[in-house]
């Protein structure tokens, strides 16, 4: 059962409001289902939005921030728990250890690197945790195409669709992680 989800996403807001909307919706969804959010610890961009939304709904939010990044990704000081690490490698290891699944929202090169690392770890059987890419506005289509090319050219022992799931809407994330849809209220 998934009790804690690691979310990789940008420390910038991006230019499309759909990206910010997805971050807010994801934070709200996780908190409303009692799922702990583990993320990079920044207060800005999509990172800050997903954390603030979860906190606003009473969710537990764990941020993991490397000391060296604090000047670029200003740490969110209102989290349930903020863990400081020596470097990015320790950050990613701690985030993975504290999570049962990974969800990737749009972001920059750091987000892509984090996503590719957990995908690689899954291929190498270092973990078997679900990975969901949220393809807002087609953001991950080039990565999906590249992944298919890696498989086609024989550089992956696993099929791409076995390593991660791609969804287009936040509402599809929890079912992709094995959760039943949220029960609807019955009219009296």
Please, what CATH class does the domain formed by 4-176 belong to?
Answer: alpha beta
Contact (CB, 8 A) for 60 and 27: no
Residue 69, CA distances (Å) to 23, 65, 91, 97 in order:
21, 7, 11, 20
Of 173, 99, 95, the closest CA to residue 134 belongs to 173
Tens-place pLDDT, residues 78-132: 999 999 999 999 999 999 999 999 999 999 999 999 999 999 999 999 999 999 9
**Domain spans, the chain:** 4-176
Question: What is the per-residue pLDDT for 186?
Answer: 41
pLDDT in tens, 30-49: 999 999 999 999 999 999 99
């Amino acid at each position: 059962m998934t009790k804690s989800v690691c979310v990789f996403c940008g420390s910038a807001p991006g230019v499309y409001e759909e990206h910010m909307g997805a971050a807010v919706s994801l934070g709200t969804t996780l908190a409303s289902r009692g799922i702990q959010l583990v993320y990079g610890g920044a207060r800005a961009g999509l990172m800050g939005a997903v954390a603030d939304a979860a906190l606003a709904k009473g969710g537990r939010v764990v941020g993991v921030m490397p000391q060296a990044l604090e000047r670029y990704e200003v740490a969110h000081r209102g989290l349930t728990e903020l863990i400081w690490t020596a470097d990015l490698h320790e950050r990613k290891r701690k985030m993975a250890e504290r999570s049962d699944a990974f969800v990737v929202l749009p972001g920059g090169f750091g987000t892509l690197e984090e996503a590719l690392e957990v995908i690689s770890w899954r291929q190498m059987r270092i973990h078997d945790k679900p990975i969901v890419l949220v393809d807002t506005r087609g953001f991950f289509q080039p990565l999906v195409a590249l992944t298919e090319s890696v498989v086609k050219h024989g550089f992956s022992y696993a099929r791409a669709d076995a390593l991660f799931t791609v969804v287009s809407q936040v509402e599809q994330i929890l079912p992709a992680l094995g959760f039943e849809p949220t029960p609807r209220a019955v009219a009296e």
